[in-house]
Amino acid sequence: MNNFKYVFLCGIFIFHSLKSSSASIVSTGDFTKDFFVTWSPSHVNTSTDGRSRSLKLDQESGSAIASNDMFLFGQFDMRIKLVPGHSAGTVLAFYLTSDQPNRDEIDFEFLGNVLDQPYILQTNIFADGFDNREERIRLWFDPTKDFHTYSILWNLHQIVFMVDYVPIRTYRNHADKGVAYPRWQPMSMKMSLWDGSSWATNGGKDKIDWSKGPFIASFANYTIDACIWKGNARFCRANSSGNWWNKEELSSLTWKQRRFFKWVRRYHLVYDYCKDYNRFQNNLPKECSLSKY
C-alpha cells in the first residue's frame, strides 16, 4: 500500500509539473462568473463568494448549469461531493458537450444507489453523434463523505478520465484507423442532476424514493485549463507553449499511470462495452481492438 501511495504522489507531481510550465488557466474559480444556470434557478444554490455551488433534485424539478465559454482541448477538474444516503434513481452528470446534431460529448455520470450500496460511475463518449461507449466502475471510496476531484484531459492524442488524478479510462485518437474522435467541435462544460429512474439503478428496478429527498450534490474548487473557442480550430490544435495539454509527454499514459489504470480495470471495472459481445452481436467497435495508451 505504501508503494501504491508513493507511485500515486509521483504521478501527481509529474502531472502538475507539466501544467505549471505554462500559465493557461482560464477559470476564475467563481461559479457566478464562469457558469450560468440552464435549468431551474430555484434549485441551484451558490455560496456568497461564488466558490461552491449545489444542485438540487426534488419532485418539482432537477437542475443544471453550463460554462459561459466553449473549449477545444484542455484539462477540466471539478471537486464534487455526491448525493448522500438513499440516492437510487438519481443521476449526476459532469460532462463536456458540443450540443450539435452530430455532437461530441465526454461524460461522467454518477448513478445513485440504495442505502449502503456503492455508487456506480459511468463514463461515455460521443463522437460525430454516436455513443454506445459506456464503461462503469465502482469507486474505491465513499464519494458522499467528502469532495473528490474528477478530471477530463482532452487533447489531440487521447481522452483520459481521472478520479483524484488516477486514470480510470482512456479513449485514444485512432482517427487514422477509421475510429471517430472528438477533435473539431468545441464543447462547453456542464453539470446536471436529474431523475434517471427508468435506467440508472439496477436497470431501472430501483426508482427514486421522493420521501428521501431533496437530493443535493455539491461542487467546489474547479479548474478549467483549456483553449477557449474563438472560431479557429487551428489555434487550439497547435502544439504551442500555451497548449500544454498537447505536449508529447501527454500523448499517452506514463508507466506510473498505467499501473493505476490496470489496478482500476482489474479491481473496480464492472462493465466495459468492449467486452459486451452480445450487445454488438460479436462485432465489437473497431477501437476495442486498438491500444488504450
Would the pLDDT of 22 be above 50?
no
Give phi and psi for 39, each to the nearest 5: -155, 120
pLDDT tens-digit profile of 47-106? Answer: 999 999 999 999 999 999 999 999 999 999 999 999 999 999 999 999 999 999 899 999
Amino acid symbol at 130: F
* Active-site amino acid positions: 105, 109
**C-alpha span between 223 and 165 (Å, rounded):** 13
**C-alpha span between 126 and 279 (Å, rounded):** 18
DSSP assigned state of 127: B
- Beta-carbon contacts of 87 under 8 Å, excluding residues fewer than 6 positions away, are 112, 113, 119, 144, 212, 215
pLDDT tens-digit profile of 117-160? Answer: 999 999 999 999 999 999 999 999 999 999 999 999 999 999 99
Report pTM.
0.92
